[in-house]
């Protein structure tokens, strides 16, 4: 995605989406900093992989359309539809149908959901970590290993 920034308010204005076939010179786009008197930045599209969750049984990895399991309530983990639950008021007495934790079954921070996410998409997380590390570490020249018996004059 190619983003142009509003200079006055410093807000990103996503204006262009460029879809290129893989080629050796495509990385030149990342070096563009100004375009038509505007500050610009070229970046890869932000993709978020969301693990599907069934609204019938509250399990992850499939949807209600393909589910044949019994109903589980998102609020109390009971064996009934969520719409038929007797709990109509939001309160702290909720129970997860997946891990029995003190949160609703559709909570994104659930331990079961996190484990499945890391199991199914580990490479994506590693790529993001590596990208963040590259951005935070300053680039420097490689250090040549020292050789104690050779002087700089002899090294040539």
pLDDT for residue 22 is more than 60: yes
pLDDT digits (tens, 9 = 90+) for 85-102: 988 888 778 999 999 999
| Separation in Å, CA 125 to CA 27, 41, 47, 53, 78 | 22, 23, 12, 20, 34
pLDDT of residue 19: 75
The pLDDT confidence band at residue 125, using thresholds 50, 70 and 90, is low
Write down the pTM of the prediction: 0.52
The pLDDT confidence band at residue 117, using thresholds 50, 70 and 90, is confident
pLDDT digits (tens, 9 = 90+) for 38-54: 777 777 776 777 889 99
């Amino acid at each position: 995605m190619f983003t142009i920034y509003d200079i006055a308010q410093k807000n990103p204005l996503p204006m262009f989406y460029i879809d290129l076939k893989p080629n050796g010179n495509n990385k030149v786009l990342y070096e563009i900093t100004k375009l038509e008197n505007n500050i610009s930045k070229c970046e890869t599209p932000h993709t978020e992989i969301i693990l599907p969750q069934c609204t019938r049984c509250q399990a992850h990895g499939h949807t209600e359309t393909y589910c044949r399991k019994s109903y589980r309530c998102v609020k109390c983990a009971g064996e009934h539809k969520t719409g038929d639950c007797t709990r109509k008021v939001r309160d702290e007495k909720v129970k997860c149908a997946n891990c029995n934790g003190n949160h609703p079954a559709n909570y994104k921070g659930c331990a079961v959901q996190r484990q499945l996410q890391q199991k199914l998409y580990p490479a994506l997380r590693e790529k993001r970590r590596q990208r963040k590390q590259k951005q935070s570490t300053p680039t420097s020249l490689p250090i040549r290993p020292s050789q104690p018996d050779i002087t700089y004059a002899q090294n040539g």
